[in-house]
Amino acid sequence: MQHFYEPHAGHGLKHDPFNAIVGPRPIGWVSSRSTAGVLNLAPYSFFNAFNYVPPVIGFSSIGRKDSLNNIEATGEFVWNLVTRELAEVMNQTCEAVPPEVSEFDLAGLTPEPSRIVGVPRVAQSPVSFECRCTQILQLKDLQGQNIDTWMVFGEVVGVHIAQRLLKDGVYDTANAGHILRGGGPADYFSVGPEQLFKMYRPASGARDLPK
């Protein structure tokens, strides 16, 4: 037996399963700055990496949020890694506040100046990507009508990694404390060494690996 539904007609369940099936997902904890100089920090659950060289990441803004407005205006943003220790403060930055209120202040986080872009990173985060916006695409439905959702893509122009997470020149994902967004109204997952297993690609797939 399978549960089948057509999304346009409703799923008929207690909670939409789509987000739970496409998950867990990395969190796009994005810092930006308005043209007036106000800092913004917001988490996005539709976030991922899309290219190796050059490195390109992107996130989806469902609705016109402050992050989207800021990045459209300045062309810059920073992605900050959310770890288990930062989960509660990350959650505080979800709060809907007026554009003139900085989530850095709201959550008691420290804005650390970036090296290349004019947007600060989260000092408490062990990994940050400084980014310059490359594309902003408004999504469309099957009828070609615009959806109230925008994909924001950025090329990573600077990377900050805490030295403790580099083991013999390899980033230690298993012990970095990553958390990921799951389904349901409140589900998150953590990554640890107990989830680690190794599987190398067949030789024929080596051409797909970054040089």
For 154-195, the pLDDT digits (tens) are 999 999 999 999 999 999 999 999 999 998 789 999 999 999
Q: What share of the chain in percent tops pLDDT 70?
A: 96
Confidence of residue 23 (pLDDT cuts 50, 70, 90): confident
Q: What is the mean pLDDT of residues 116-127?
A: 98
> What is the token pair recorded at 140?
């469309």
Q: What is the mean pLDDT of residues 125-137?
A: 98
Q: Angle 175-186-172 (CA atoms, 0-180°, nearest 5)?
A: 10
Q: Contact at 8 Å (CB) between 119 and 77?
A: yes
Q: What is the mean pLDDT of residues 131-144?
A: 98
Report the b/e string of 63-96 with b at 16+ CB within 10 A.
eebbbbbbbeebbbbbbbbbbeebeebbeebeee
The predicted pLDDT at position 207 comes to: 55
The answer to whether residue 132 scores a pLDDT higher than 90 is yes
Q: Given strand 188-190, what is the order of strands in its sheet?
A: 25-26, 179-181, 188-190
The answer to whether residue 211 scores a pLDDT higher than 60 is no
The predicted pLDDT at position 126 comes to: 98
pLDDT tens profile 32-91: 999 999 999 999 999 999 999 999 999 999 999 999 999 999 999 999 999 999 999 999
Q: Contact at 8 Å (CB) between 132 and 75?
A: yes
- Please tell me the class of the 19-194 domain: mainly beta
pLDDT tens profile 98-110: 999 999 999 999 9
Q: Contact at 8 Å (CB) between 178 and 191?
A: yes
Sign of CA dihedral 160, 164, 167, 169: positive
The predicted pLDDT at position 185 comes to: 82
Q: Contact at 8 Å (CB) between 139 and 151?
A: yes
Indicate the SS3 state at residue 105: helix
CA 73/CA 99 separation, integer angstroms: 14
CA 150/CA 137 separation, integer angstroms: 5
Tell which wins on pLDDT, 12 or 207.
Answer: 12
Lowest mean pLDDT among 15-19, 111-115, 150-154: 15-19
The predicted pLDDT at position 206 comes to: 53
